[in-house]
């Protein structure tokens, strides 16, 4: 038994001595430095490759979101801003593209904080549009009542305005929406000049059709028409819905512009990676 222990001790000692001798030789030969260099180089190469690959994946995913989500949102936001800048448009303005995204996976391609902002804006725009549509109905009611009072004809149609004008050597015509002219406080006869500075020699006609459709009168500019226009304008400005819309328009327009700026940043971001 003692012989076994002595032999085992001798074997272990010899092994350790061999390992020490090998390490001494390995160190003195310079192979250790070479091996360390190879390991460090491989580590650096792996780190750089991994980082580059991660950046490529991140950029590719960012570009996908920019093209599928933010590019579409940018186009629609531009149109929404244009409509809001026209001041109190009485038609429904909706964030349709975002509502479409809310129904599928693209909704979750937008980070939680920003999609909450887009959700909030979409809801506010719907509320604004409800008020705008109501205001359109209120203004049409005012027009019907003033048409009866001033011109003595009952109607359930908004009178058709027509303005003819000269553009160069050609006589042209436009048909302003009387409701939108009132909302934007644009005198119908001046609309061609507002749209085209070269327009001249404007002539204005208002056509009113009775409820039963059996009677249509044409009204040129006169003191009666001036009374009609100014009274409609004054009553509209006293309307609570109109006052609310005037106040809300500037707020929601500012929100839309801020969202557009943020969308632009998110479109540009992947190309900077």
For 11, 13, 17, 155, 184, the CA distances from 23, given in Å and listed in that order, are 18, 15, 10, 108, 91
pLDDT of residue 187: 85
Alpha helices in 30-102 (DSSP H): 31-65, 71-85, 96-101
Which is it for strands 160-167 and 216-220: parallel, antiparallel or unpaired?
unpaired
Q: Record the pTM.
A: 0.68
Q: Is the pLDDT of residue 265 over 50?
A: yes
Residue 126's nearest CA partner among 96, 159, 85 is 96
- Could you read off the pLDDT of 136-192 as tens digits, one per residue? 899 999 999 999 999 898 999 999 888 888 888 888 888 888 998 898 888 888 877
11 pLDDT more than 80? no
Do 257 and 81 form a contact (C-beta atoms < 8 A)?
yes
In the 8-state DSSP scheme, what is residue 111? Answer: -
- Give 51-67 pLDDT, tens digit per residue: 555 565 566 656 688 78
- Averaged pLDDT for residues 255-260: 96
In whole angstroms, what is the distance from residue 35 CA to residue 43 CA?
12
Please say if the pLDDT value at position 88 is more than 70. no
Whether 262 has a pLDDT exceeding 90, the answer reads yes
> What pLDDT digit, counting tens, does each position of 208-243 carry?
888 888 778 887 777 788 899 999 999 999 998 888
Better-predicted residue by pLDDT, 127 or 193: 127
**In this structure, what DSSP letter does residue 215 have?**
-
pLDDT at 92: 82
State the pairing for strand pair 216-220/170-174: unpaired
Cα separation, 157 vs 136, in Å, equals 13
């Amino acid at each position: 038994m003692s012989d076994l222990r002595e032999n085992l001790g001798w074997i272990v000692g010899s092994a350790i001595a061999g390992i020490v001798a090998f390490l001494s030789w390995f160190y003195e030969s310079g192979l250790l430095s070479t091996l360390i260099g190879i390991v460090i180089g491989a580590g650096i190469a792996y780190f750089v490759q991994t980082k580059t690959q991660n950046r490529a994946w991140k950029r590719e995913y960012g570009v996908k979101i920019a093209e599928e989500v933010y590019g579409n949102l940018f186009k629609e936001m531009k149109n929404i801003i244009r409509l809001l800048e026209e001041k109190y448009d009485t038609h429904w303005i909706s964030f349709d593209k975002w509502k479409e995204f809310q129904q599928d996976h693209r909704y979750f391609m937008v980070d939680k904080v920003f999609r909450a902002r887009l959700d909030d804006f979409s809801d506010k725009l719907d509320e604004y549009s409800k008020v705008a549509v109501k205001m359109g109905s209120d203004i049409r009611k005012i027009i019907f009542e003033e048409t009866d009072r001033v011109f003595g004809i009952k109607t359930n149609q908004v009178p058709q305005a027509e303005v003819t004008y000269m553009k160069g050597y050609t006589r042209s015509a436009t048909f302003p929406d009387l409701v939108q002219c009132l909302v934007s406080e644009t005198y119908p006869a001046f609309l061609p000049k507002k749209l085209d500075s070269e327009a001249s020699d404007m002539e204005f006609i208002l056509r009113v059709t009775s409820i039963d459709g059996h009677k249509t009168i044409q009204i040129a500019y006169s003191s009666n028409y001036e009374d009609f226009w100014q009274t409609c304008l004054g009553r509209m400005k006293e309307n609570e819905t109109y006052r609310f819309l005037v106040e809300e328009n500037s707020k929601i327009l500012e929100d839309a512009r801020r969202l557009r700026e943020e969308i632009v940043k998110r479109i540009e971001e992947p190309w900077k990676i």
